[in-house]
Structure 1
Amino acid sequence: MVEVKNMESFWRISDFAKEVGKHPNTVDGWFKQLEEKHIHYVNRTENGEKLYDDLDLSIAQFINQQRANKWALDAIFDSLSHKFDLRSAPDEETSMSTTYGTLGVDLEQFKVEILAAAKEIAASHIKEVKQQYEAIIDKLPEPKSKEEERSERMESIIIRRRVETTLREEAVKSWNQKPEEERVKRVGFFRKEEDWGKREEFINQYINERFEDRIKKVFQL
């Protein structure tokens, strides 16, 4: 244990943990979490070694007692500010106050100005994004009315029927150009007639094989 002139006590972690009555790793873990959460900081020597004082001891004893009462660590940490005058990190408070004080800057006013600037930048960014979306929307075509949609559907039906009619005419012409023995069938001993079933099958196959390509050409797909 190290003694100072004002008789305040300082401990290194091994001796400090004995005062608390817990393992050094456990106690060190508590104060590491307090520092990570920016709740309370431990003093350090010039070479960076932690030195725990009377305030730290009171805090550690309180944590130990509440843990024995089954309190969660987060709940204990949240309650510390109501019971103790906690210590801020010197690097955060002192360095900022010293730096900006030397420059003749009001730290609180500086914080307000920084916040205002951040809000202005955010608002400007939102405005820019909004303008970009509005530009995209302006380029989109106007929605079609029901009359326009109905007219387009009707036109599509008419075009498809025309394509089908044209293909049927081509199919009939192609059928008629086939040799007679492929187009007719014998009925009885002395009579022949058009094989209408075979003819219709040929026409349907002709249309089905060409319909898709013909439609794509018409609609320029």
Structure 2
Amino acid sequence: MEYWRISDFSKKVGKHPNTVDRWFKELEEKHIHTVSRTEYGEKVYDQLDLDIALYIREKRDQKWALDGIFYELPKHFELRISLNEPDETNAPQVTDPKTMRRELEKLVREITERQNREMKQQYEELLKRLPQPKTFQEERQERMTEMITRRRIESQLRDEALNMWFTKPEEERKRRVGFFRKEEDHDKREQFVRDHINKHFEERLKKEFDVI
């Protein structure tokens, strides 16, 4: 494989060395593509870099923004992706794209597994915070308690209504039977009791169960 230094490489690209160098610096900073280096840390460019540079030059001539060009690169080239920040004291060697791809896939798997573990832990913690489902016996007891409470409230309201009924004047409580006799108006009394229960039952029930 043939390698070029920046001076020779930029001539092949047809752009100023500073311009070409800036393109590849941004690619490395964005962890999109890494330039190979010698054992002394000097950047060297190969055919893949040349193809990328020519592609960038073409798109720049078409007035594309660099960010847009960089976004398209992975669709057209087998890029060398840097997983770590460059180490100035210990320069990296020329990297095999296949090796880098395997390392990247391994990193993605590790991240995914860690996220899955964290999500599972969060799910289990949420389950612990939820109230435990009621047993059949507890539900049965609650139904019985509610039924007894309803009957007690209804009985109390009925007693209240009857007491109120008997405090009414006789002409409101009784009806004439024949010419000389009066008797309790049972239908009217029962209607009065039902009206009293219907009017106050819901309020008393809410108060009993502390429902606002």
Q: TM-score, normalised by structure 2?
A: 0.58
Tell me the equivalent position of 1:154. 144
Structure with the larger RCO, 1 or 2 (CA within 8 Å, 6+ apart): 2
1:192 is paired with a residue whose SS is strand
Whether the aligned pair in 1 keeps the contact of 2:80 and 2:95 (CA below 8 Å) is no
Distance in 1 of aligned mates of 2:197 and 2:114 = 61
Show structure 1 runs of 5+ residues with no match: 1-42, 50-88
CA positional deviation for 1:164: 0.5
- Which amino acid is the alignment partner of residue 120 of structure 2? K
Summarize the Cα distance change of 1:98–1:182 in structure 2 as closer, same or farther, 3 Å threshold: closer
Deviation track 1:109-165 (CA, whole Å, cap 9, x = no partner) reads 211111111111111111111111111111222222222221111111111100000
Distance in 2 of aligned mates of 1:218 and 1:167 = 13
Deviation track 1:1-38 (CA, whole Å, cap 9, x = no partner) reads xxxxxxxxxxxxxxxxxxxxxxxxxxxxxxxxxxxxxx
Residue in structure 2 matching 1:109, options 88, 94, 99: 99
Summarize the Cα distance change of 1:159–1:104 in structure 2 as closer, same or farther, 3 Å threshold: same
Moved over 6 A (4+): none
Tell me the equivalent position of 2:191. 201
Give 1:71-86 correspondences, 5 Å limit. none
- Which amino acid is the alignment partner of residue 77 of structure 2? E
Summarize the Cα distance change of 1:108–1:197 in structure 2 as closer, same or farther, 3 Å threshold: same
Summarize the Cα distance change of 1:97–1:151 in structure 2 as closer, same or farther, 3 Å threshold: closer
CA positional deviation for 1:173: 0.8
Whether the aligned pair in 1 keeps the contact of 2:161 and 2:196 (CA below 8 Å) is yes
Tell me the equivalent position of 1:127. 117
Tell me the equivalent position of 2:203. 213
Tell me the equivalent position of 1:92. 77
Identity rate of aligned residues, in percent? Answer: 43
CA positional deviation for 1:107: 2.0
Q: TM-score, normalised by structure 1?
A: 0.55
Distance in 1 of aligned mates of 2:141 and 2:196 = 30
Distance in 1 of aligned mates of 2:132 and 2:75 = 62
Give 1:1-80 correspondences, 5 Å limit. none
Confirm whether residue 183 of structure 1 aligns to residue 168 of structure 2.
Answer: no
2:77 is paired with a residue whose SS is helix
Distance in 2 of aligned mates of 1:207 and 1:90 = 77
- Which amino acid is the alignment partner of residue 182 of structure 1? E
Aligned pairs, number: 140
CA positional deviation for 1:195: 0.5
Tell me the equivalent position of 2:129. 139
Deviation track 1:161-219 (CA, whole Å, cap 9, x = no partner) reads 00000000111111111121111111111111110000000000100111001000000
